[in-house]
Chains A and B, each alone.
Chain A
Amino acid sequence: MTPISRQSRDPLPYLVLPALMALALAAMKFSAWLTLTVAGLAVGCMLFLAAIGLTLIFGLMDVLNFAHGGFVTLGAFIAVAVLTALPIAGGGVAAALGVVALALAAAAAAGGGLGLVFERLLIRRVAGAPLRQILVTVGGGIILQQVMIVLFGAEPLALPRPEALRGGFIIAGAALERYRLMVCLLGLLVYAATHLALNRTRLGLLIRASVENREMVEALGFRAERLFRLVFAAGTALAALGGVVWALYAGMVTADLGADIIILIFIVVIIGGLGSVSGCFLAALLLGLANNYVGFLAPKLALGTDIALMLAVLLWRPRGLLPMDGA
């Protein structure tokens, strides 16, 4: 299996992002490029937040959670609930950030909590049986979606962004939205925190060891089962976090949100290399940028950008951009 731990040390995949940005810069004005780049990075960060949980769960548990989109939707509805309960019309940036932080925390708690129940009721019963995992997680995802329709209704719910996070400013002729900058910052923070947790803490060390040899970790006296539960809950909490960010970006939430973006999430995880956190981040940014650049330069090709990018990457690197050593 492929550890979350050690990345391939090949520097080439890291050059793809700057190469794409340089190519785009050569094809358009700087102001347009800057606007598209910031917007693309923001979309990439949102995709990363929605996808990282899926890759973490796969990397450690060897489980492809097809219900992942359901947890993204859950986070989006939690955002609606929190922002509706705490309207901050006219409040400052601090108040807006405070409410968003609260929504993120509530979504993470709900996503993590439900993830624990999901793992206990469904995932644990199909450990080591990939086909049954697919069936059970697809089924679980449908149940999650239906439960959310029952709880929140089938009609789209509006989620206006707090006023302080609307609008933006002009730099060098480029329009930079406040919310997109905030999303970029959040994406970077989550990436850095995950990277540090996995590579600089004893818990991360244990997770990396468990990915490589779960039996030995248990023979050393560690309870790998609990560790797996923790990672599953962390993965679903991150999905819910992604749902909040996505909902605030779209300004509207439906029970189909997760189902709508799950294909994109899978494309990100596959392009990045299954189980790879850095690969997931790189792939998400690449997808966000490529979509924006192509949409601007050749709008008719925009619809096929995601698939074309995945195809190109897989032809070049069949295991994704940053596959794990030993895969």
Chain B
Amino acid sequence: MAEAMPLLELAGVHTHIGRYHILHGVDLAVPEGRVSVLLGRNGAGKTTSLRTIIGLWRASHGAIRFAGAEITGHATPDIARLGIAYVPENMGVFTTLTVAENFRLADWRGDPQPARLDAVMAAFPVLAQKWQARAGTLSGGQKQMLAIGRAIATEHRLLIIDEPSKGLAPVMVAQLTEALASLKRARTTILLVEQNFAMAQALGDHVAVMEDGRIVYRGEMAALAADIALQTRLLGLSLASHQ
């Protein structure tokens, strides 16, 4: 039986940043309703891949398709309006605005639905307590909750998250993992870049590993998690050593 068409598909994508050739023909498929994890060492091209998908970098060659439509070269707002939420590595929180004001900008069509906001506050109660606080005064973990909370405060077809656990305390990582796991249970389509292998393993259905701007491995997360030799070869570390 033929596989269902992926929600997001990258075919032979190359990206240049200035005179640097960063992505060398990335092929990636993100199936709907699943969590796809992009792994790789620092500088492998993971963040550039995400930024190219959302249009912050322009692909110099290749094609990016979302829900069957070509989005290569489209402007970032047009791509976002198709239903793609992006949480960047630096979280993209507006630090000079309050938490409430950050949420007012969650939806380009207008203020987010109250019911949706209630659900976010239930997942991240600390945000309700800090509602009128300036986002710049939040801790790293709270900022990450705000960034993810803002992304899910409105309905999206795909959630792209870049290293949500970066720089966070273990207790905060556990809390975030649980929040993302509940999104996974709700069959939210997620493309996750993550260096924390325990978190990646807990959340990922599919995995792709990048090296030097190319995808060098793709498969089921369970298969990678079970193959210590493969982990060591691809990532230089085993998942087991990080649990």
Is B one of A's binding partners?
A: yes
Q: Does A325 contact B (CB under 8 A)?
A: yes
| Partner pick for A206 among B105, B107, B111, B150, CB 8 A cutoff | B105
Q: Does A178 contact B (CB under 8 A)?
A: no
Which partner residue on chain B sits nearest A224 by CB separation?
A: B77
Would you call A222 and B56 a contact (CB within 8 A)? no
Would you call B105 and A209 a contact (CB within 8 A)? yes
How long is the Cα–Cα vector from A208 to B96 in the complex, in angstroms?
8
Q: Does B119 contact A (CB under 8 A)?
A: no
Segment touching B, from A36-44, A127-135, A211-219? A211-219
Report B80 CB to chain A, min CB distance, Å.
4
With contacts A205-B105, A206-B105, A215-B56 known, is A221 near B94, CB below 8 A?
no
Report A127 CB to chain B, min CB distance, Å.
14
Would you call A208 and B97 a contact (CB within 8 A)? yes
Contacts of B55 in A (CB 8 A): 218
How long is the Cα–Cα vector from A222 to B101 in the complex, in angstroms?
15
Q: How many residues of A contact B (CB 8 A)?
A: 23
With contacts A202-B104, A205-B105, A209-B105 known, is A218 near B80, CB below 8 A?
yes
How long is the Cα–Cα vector from A221 to B108 in the complex, in angstroms?
6
Q: How many residues of B contact A (CB 8 A)?
A: 25
The B91-150 residues at the A interface (CB cut-off 8 A) are: 92, 94-97, 101, 104-108, 111, 134, 136, 150
The B48-72 residues at the A interface (CB cut-off 8 A) are: 54-56
Q: Does A273 contact B (CB under 8 A)?
A: no
Contacts of B106 in A (CB 8 A): 220
Which partner residue on chain A sits nearest B109 by CB separation?
A: A221
Would you call B95 and A219 a contact (CB within 8 A)? no
Which partner residue on chain B sits nearest A215 by CB separation?
A: B56
Q: Does A258 contact B (CB under 8 A)?
A: no
| Partner pick for A220 among B96, B101, B105, CB 8 A cutoff | B105
Would you call A212 and B96 a contact (CB within 8 A)? yes
Which partner residue on chain A sits nearest B81 by CB separation?
A: A221
How long is the Cα–Cα vector from A325 to B81 in the complex, in angstroms?
31
Would you call A221 and B101 a contact (CB within 8 A)? no
Residue-wise, chain A 82-105 has the 8 Å CB interface mask toward B (1 for contact) of: 000000000000000000000000
Report B64 CB to chain A, min CB distance, Å.
15
Report B99 CB to chain A, min CB distance, Å.
13
Would you call B92 and A219 a contact (CB within 8 A)? yes
How long is the Cα–Cα vector from A148 to B65 in the complex, in angstroms?
51
Would you call A5 and B56 a contact (CB within 8 A)? no
Q: List 5 A-B contacts (CB under 8 A).
A: A202-B111, A215-B88, A218-B55, A219-B76, A219-B92
- Known contacts A6-B96, A209-B105, then 7 further A-B pairs from the complex at CB < 8 Å, ordered by chain A residue: A5-B97, A205-B101, A205-B104, A212-B94, A215-B88, A219-B92, A326-B95
Chain A residues in the interface with B (C-beta under 8 A): 3, 5-6, 202, 205-206, 208-209, 212-213, 215-225, 325-326
